[in-house]
Structures are given as structure tokens and as C-alpha cells.
Amino acid sequence: MQVSVTGHHVDVTDSLRNYVEEKISKLKRHFDNVTDIHVILTVEKLQQQAEATVQVSGAKLFAEDTQEDMYAAIDNMVDKLDRQIIKHKEKMNSHR
């Protein structure tokens, strides 16, 4: 699994990068076929936004969240991705 973290109007520090990688690593517990993850962290005035695109076995999943705190935005974004990955896995396994 390849994780890339970029920042738009924000410097991505080591602690922020480690936090994102730690949270993203939890996605592998539900689905092993996650190949590529691209995370973009954006700051616009008082709004902190985190968005991610995940390449999963032939499909692309996208999630974003905006909060006043960057860490809260990352947490909510990972939760959204987690739900999407579970739903994608169930779709793949529910063949009639």
C-alpha cells in the first residue's frame, strides 16, 4: 500500500504525516486489496480540509471532510473511507 500525503497552503510536518499514515493503516484491517492512497490536506482561512482518493481493486473511492481542526478532519475522512471500503467489499462478495 502506497500512501502519499500532500499539502495545499499548509506545510505537512512529520507528526501530521505520521498521524495520517497511522489512521490510514487501519483501513487494511477490512480489505487487503488497497493499492494506492493519495491524501491532500488543505487550509483555507479557518477551515481545515482533508480529502483522500483510494485505489481499491479496480475502483476509486473518494472522501473529504472539513473541520476547524485538521486532526478531526482526518479522523472523519478516514471513518468515511472505512465505511466505503466495507460497502465495496460487500458488493464484491455478494454475487448471486
Residue given cell 493519495 in the structure block: 38
Average pLDDT over residues 63-82: 92
Residue 89: its pLDDT value, please? Answer: 84
Tens-place pLDDT, residues 2-53: 888 999 998 888 999 999 999 888 888 877 777 889 999 999 988 999 999 9
pLDDT at 91 over 70: yes
Tens-place pLDDT, residues 52-72: 999 887 789 999 999 999 999
Domain that holds residue 80: 2-93
Question: Residue 9 — left, alpha, or beta (φ > 0 → left; ψ -120 to 50 → alpha)?
Answer: left
Number of domains in the chain: 1
What's the CA gap between 48 and 63, in Å, rounded?
14
The domain spanning residue 80 has which CATH number? 3.30.160.100
Residue 72: its pLDDT value, please? Answer: 93
